[in-house]
Amino acid sequence: MASVLEDDEGTSAHQSLSDMSLEEVQSLRNKLGIKQFNKKFGLKKLHTGPASKNRSRNYGPVEVSSKRPPNLSKLASQKVVTRDPRFDDLSGEFNEQLFKRSYKFIDKLKAKEFKAVSKIAEDEGLDEETRRRAKDMLTRLGQRKAAKKKVIVDDTVEQRLKEERKQAIKEGRKPFFLKSSEKQKLVLAEKYKELKEKGQLDSYVKKKRQQNSKKGSMMPTRTER
C-alpha cells in the first residue's frame, strides 16, 4: 500500500513539475536546494563512473587513451614467427632427381634462347650494335651454362664421396676425407669422362690449349739487365 502511495506521490509531483514554467522550476530548485529538489520530485542523479567516461554508449567499445604506453610484453608475445621451408622438416626431404625432372623444361627454353641469339649474332644483315649486343648476351649465356655444368659435376663427385664414406662406416672402417686439391682432380676426371661420352673431349682440349697459348703470349717477357 505504501509503495502505491509513493508512486502516486511521485507521479503527482512530476505532473506538477511539468505544469510549471522553466523560470518557476529554476526558482524552486534554488529555494529547496538541488538535493531536496531531486528528492521531492523523485529525480535521480545520473551515474558518472569510469564506464560513462570511457564509453559513448552502453554497448560501445571502451576508449583507451593514446597517451598510455603500450604493453611491450604483450606485443612481444604476439610476434609472428616465420619459417623457411628450405630448412623445415615439414617440407620433406629434397629429391634431386624429381627436381631435375620437374624443371627440365627450363633447360629446353634456355637452349632455344641460345639458338635464337646465335642467329642474331651471325646475321650480317643487321647493324653492328645489334650484333654486338647479341654476342655479349651469348657470352653471358655461355658462362651461365658452364657454371651450371661445373655445379652438376661437383655435386656428382660429392655424392659419390658421400656414398663411399657411408659404406666405410657401415663396414666398420674409418671414413676418408679428400683434400681440396685431390677433390678437384676427381672433378676434372669426371668432367673429361662426360665430355668423352658426348664426343666433345677433343674440341674441349683443343680450346683449352688455344686459351693457354694465348695467355702465354700475353705474359710480359723478362728483360736482361
What is the average pLDDT across 3-9?
41
- The predicted model scores a pTM of 0.43
Q: Does residue 102 register a pLDDT over 60? A: yes
Cβ(117)–Cβ(90) under 8 Å? Answer: no
Whether residue 136 is predicted with pLDDT greater than 90 in this model: the reply is yes
Residues 6+ apart with CB under 8 A from 131: 120, 121, 123
Are 188 and 142 in a shared domain?
A: no
Match 641469339 to its residue by C-alpha cell: 117
- The verdict on 187 and 166 lying in the same domain is no
Q: Is residue 65 part of a domain?
A: no
Question: Domain count of the chain?
Answer: 3
Does residue 187 share a domain with residue 173?
no
Per-residue model confidence (pLDDT) at position 118: 92
For 115, other C-beta atoms within 10 Å of its C-beta total 9
Above 90 in pLDDT, residue 181? no
Between CA 126 and CA 117 the distance in angstroms is: 13
DSSP code of residue 86 = G
Q: How confident is the model at residue 10 (pLDDT cuts 50, 70, 90)?
A: very low
Q: What is the mean pLDDT of residues 163-167?
A: 88
Instruction: Name the nearest CA neighbour of 146 among 195, 179, 197, 202.
Output: 195
Higher local confidence (pLDDT), 2 or 65: 65
Q: Which domain holds residue 32?
A: 7-47
